Every structure is written in C-alpha cells, then in structure tokens.
Structure 1
Amino acid sequence: MINDKTAPLAGLLLRVSLGILFLAHVALKLFVFTVPGFVGYFASLGLPAVAAYLTIALELFGGIALILGVYAPWVALPLALEMLGTVLLVHGKNGWMFTNKGGGWEYPAFWAVTLVVLFLLGDGAYALRPAKRSA
C-alpha cells in the first residue's frame, strides 16, 4: 500500500538526490575529464562528438530540472535511457560490480531503475512545475 502522506516526500527526496547525482556526474565530465577529453572518449566508442555534447547538456539541465521539480517525471525518462546506454556501450563489458576495473554495470543499472521509479511516482512535494498527468 502507498502511504499517501509520505509518498510526496519520498518523491521529493528521490528527485532531489537524483538531480544532485547528475550535477556531480556532469561536473566530473566538465572539470576532471574536460569537454575535449569526454568528446574524445565518445569518439573512442565510435560515437559522434555531438552525442558527448548532448550527454553533457542532458545531465546538466536534467539535474537542475530534477532538483527544482520542473517536469521531473518526463526528465527522468531520457536520463534513464542515458544510463541504460552506458550499460550497453561502456559498463556492460566490465561485469556486474561497479568496483571492477572500468566500472561494472551495477550502478548505472540501479540509477536507471530509480529514474523509472521517479517517472512512475511523480514529481513529489515542492515541485516548481509538476508534470501534468492524466488519471
């Protein structure tokens, strides 16, 4: 049974924590790997440079949208697809455990699931622009 009194707070906690994680994730790309380094990494995977820039934009603006609660459930879906993409293109070959060399697929798979949960749960409390959903 869903607790109607605490579910909005659960959505808020999930939404904000996911948003913070994405901002930390994009900060790693910008300040540690650098944009040229990240673009080069995408090229090493056979992906076009534009995909690296789109990933950075998705994580930056998606993270902000999640924290603020701006259409958060709809923002969560492309972010979940991105995480599934990292499982398929990057981490899947490294095994299950994220502590494996190169990082396994455990963490991005869990991240994708939590984003789908947010999509199903909704915006949570204190969303600036709640997503309109039909009942």
Structure 2
Amino acid sequence: MLLRIGLAGMWISHGLILKLLTFGVVGLGNWLAAIGLPSALALPLILAETVGGLLILLGIYGRWVSLALLPILLGALLIHAPNGWVFSNPDGGWEYPLFLAVMTLVHALLGDGPLALKAAGATS
C-alpha cells in the first residue's frame, strides 16, 4: 500500500501540478514539439498521469494501470538519458525516471496491497 501511495503521489503531481497547472496543455505541447514528439500528446499525457495516479491511489486495477503507464516512464528515460545520471543536471538526468519505472514495474508485479478498492483478478 505504501508503494501504491508513493507512486500515486508522483503520477498525480507530475500530471496535474507539473504538466497541467505549471506548463499547461499548450506549454507542454510546445515542449513536446521541441523535442520531436507530437504536440497532440500533451492532453493525453496529462490525463493518463492524473487519472492513472488517482486509480493507483484508490487501488482500482492498479497493477494494470501501472503497466499502462510504464511506457510514459520509459519515454521519459529515453528523453533524459543524454543529460547524464543525476536528475538535477540541466534538463534532468535519467536516474529518477529509471527509479520510477522500476517502482512502477514492482507495483505491477506485487499488486495494490491492503485497502485497494478493486484489485486485478478480484471478484465483486
């Protein structure tokens, strides 16, 4: 459950606070275009990270949600890889996305833990 809460906090803070409230959809779209990705990915990324984080927090099919969100972290890892190891480097390093990708995979493998509303494979 602690892993689930920590991951949810990371996803919600990145999707809602960083991407939507700090950069905005247009600002995120401009940054995506500047690094060679379609700007149309901005809103889907914000929604995936925010809604995904909420689902993980509540324990609603969290294993599947983590698997679905894993490609976002792998993309972040590729984007930040040229910047070096430490995330405090200019434009961020790759250790933070790697750690989060591993923890997201661990969550997918271990499951939601106690107090999950709807675990994968659970019956109603």
Q: State the TM bucket, normalised to the shorter chain.
A: over 0.9
Separation in structure 1 between the aligned mates of residue 40 and residue 54 of structure 2, nearest angstrom: 21
Q: In angstroms, what is the RMSD of aligned CA positions?
A: 1.1
Where does residue 77 of structure 1 map in the other structure? 67
Separation in structure 1 between the aligned mates of residue 64 and residue 10 of structure 2, nearest angstrom: 17
Q: Does 1:107 align with 2:58?
A: no
Q: Does 1:30 align with 2:20?
A: yes
Of the structure 1 ranges 46-55 and 28-37, higher mean CA displacement relative to structure 2 is found in 46-55
Q: How does 1:38-117 map to 2 (within 5 A)?
A: 38-88=28-78, 90-117=79-106
| Greater gyration radius | 1
Choose which of 13, 20, 27 in structure 1 pairs with 2:2: 13
Separation in structure 2 between the aligned mates of residue 50 and residue 126 of structure 1, nearest angstrom: 36
Identity %: 45
In the TM superposition, what is the alpha-carbon distance from 1:95 to its structure 2 partner? 0.7
Per-residue Cα deviation, 1:38-96 (whole angstroms, up to 9, x for no partner): 011111122112222211111011000000001000100122211111111x2111011
Paired positions, count: 121
In structure 1, list runs of 5 or more residues that go unmatched: 1-11
Where does residue 130 of structure 1 map in the other structure? 119
Equivalent pair of 1:97/1:103 in contact (CA under 8 Å): yes
TM normalised by structure 2 equals: 0.93
